[in-house]
Amino acid sequence: MTTAPLGTTPGEQMHDAVTADVSGGKAVAGRSPRELAVIRFKNDKTGLVVLFIVTLFVVLAIIAPVLSAIGVLHPTDTHQNLLDDIGLPKAAHGGISLAHPLGITPGTGTDLMSRVVLGISTSLLIALTGTLFTVAIGTVLGLVAGATGGWVDSVIGRLVDLTLSFPQTLMLLALSGGVLIMLQNNLHIHPQNLAAGIYVILILAVFGWPTIGRIVRGQVLSLREREFIEAARVIGASRRRIYFKEMLPNLWAPILVYFTLLMPAYVSAEAAFSYLGVGIKAPTPTLGNILTDSINYDVSDFVYFFVPAFLIALIVVSFNLLGDALRDALDPRADR
C-alpha cells in the first residue's frame, strides 16, 4: 500500500488516485474541441482519401496558369496533321500518345490534357469565387436577422422568400443579354469571357445565399440567449462586436461544412451554364465548355467526352464526401 506524501489534503489525494487509476499513473491531458475534431477526421479513412483528391485538384488549379505561361501546357496549339478528313483523331482512343496523354480534341487538334488542366483551374476559380460571395452574403444577413430580430428579421425573411421564388436558371437566361452588355459597355469589363465569368458568379451569389442565410439564422437564434452573449451586452459591447467577435467565431463549423458542399454544386452549375450558352466560351477552357463541345463527339470520340465528364463527377463527389467527413468530425453528436 502506497503512503500519501506529507502535506497533501484529502481532496488532492483523491484526485491523484483517480488520475492514476484512469491513466495508469500518467497525467490526463485535456483536449480542445478542435483537437477532438482533428482526431475524428483522421480516423475517417474516406475523409482522408477525398481530402488528398481535393488538395490535388486545388494545387493543379493553382499551378495550371503558371505551367501554361512557361510553355509546359499548350492549350491553343493546333495539330491538324493528326486529324483525318472529317476532323477526328487519326490514332485510336482519341489520339492518345506520349505527346498527348489524353488525346487531342476533334475539329481543332489541340492537346486535351492542356485544355482540361486549365479548365479545372477556371472552373474551380468560378466555383470558389461564387461560393465565397454566396457564403459571405448569407452569413452576414443570417447573422443580422437572427441576432437583431424584430422588423429586421422580418424584412430579411421576406427577402429570402422573394429570392427563392425566382427560378435561377430562368433568371440566368433572361438577364444574360442586358447584364453582359452593362458589364462590357458601362463598366468596361473586357474581354467578353471575363464579363461572362463575372455574370455567372453574380447569378450564383445573388440566387444562392438564402440557404446559408437560413442556416446561420437558426444557429444565431440559439446562440443569442447564451451566457457569454448576455455578458457582452451587460458590459456594453457594441452590436458589431457581438455579431462578429462573439457570435461569428461560434458559427465557423456549419459555415465550413456548407462551403465544402456548395463548391461542387457550383462546379456543376458552371458546366450547366456553359451548356445553355451563357458561360465562358472557347478558346478559354472550362470543364463546362469542354464537356459541352464533347457532346457532339460522344460516339465518334468517346475519350473526348469521357475525360471532362469523369473529372466533373470526381470533383463533385470528392467535395461532397469531404463535406460529409467534416460534418461528422465537427459534430460529436453525428451518427458515425
pLDDT at 136 over 90: yes
> What is the C-alpha separation between 137 and 202, in angstroms, rounded?
12
Is the pLDDT reported for residue 188 higher than 70?
no
Residue 24 lies in a domain: no
Task: Determine, yes or no, domain membership for 122.
Answer: yes
DSSP line for 269-310: HHHHHHHHT-S--TTS--HHHHHHHHGGGTTTTHHHHHHHHH
pLDDT at 13: 46
Q: What is the pTM of this model?
A: 0.83
Q: What is the mean pLDDT of the chain?
A: 83
DSSP letter, residue 3 = P
Structural domain that includes position 253: 38-330
Q: Provide φ and ψ at 83, rounded to 5°.
A: -105, 150
In a domain, 172, yes or no: yes
Q: Distance between CA 167 and CA 159 in Å, rounded?
A: 15
pLDDT the model gives residue 190? 67
> Which amino acid does the sequence have at 247?
M
Angle between helical axes of 45-69 and 302-330 (0-180°, round to 10) = 130
Would you say residue 48 has pLDDT above 90?
yes
Q: How many domains, the chain? A: 1
Residue 315 confidence (pLDDT): 94
Under the banding of pLDDT at 50, 70 and 90, the label for residue 4 is very low
The per-residue pLDDT for range 252-295, each reduced to its tens digit, is 888 988 998 899 999 999 988 888 888 888 888 999 999 999 88
Residue 7 lies in a domain: no
Q: Is residue 305 part of a domain?
A: yes
Residue 317 contacts residue 57 (beta carbons within 8 Å): no
Angstrom distance (rounded) from CA 99 to CA 93: 14
Closest CA to 160 of 203, 206, 128, 224: 206
pLDDT tens for 213-252 read 999 999 888 888 888 888 888 888 888 888 888 888 888 8
Tell which residue, 103, 92, 90, 97, has the closest CA to residue 304.
103
Distance separating alpha carbons of residues 291 and 274, to the nearest angstrom: 9
pLDDT at 81: 87
Q: Does any domain span residue 16?
A: no
Q: Report yes or no on 25 lying in a domain.
A: no
Res 193: pLDDT: 81
Tens of pLDDT, residue by residue over 103-119, are: 899 988 899 999 999 99
* Mean pLDDT for the stretch of residues 148-157: 90
Beta carbons of 291 and 312 less than 8 angstroms apart: yes
Does 6 map to a domain? Answer: no
Q: Tell me, what's the pLDDT at 238? A: 83
Q: What is the CATH number of the domain that holds 190?
A: 1.10.3720.10
In whole angstroms, give the CA distance from residue 190 to residue 209. Answer: 27
C-alpha distances (whole Å) from 298 to each of 113, 207, 247, 284, 309 are 17, 33, 51, 21, 11
Mean pLDDT, residues 62-79 taken together: 89
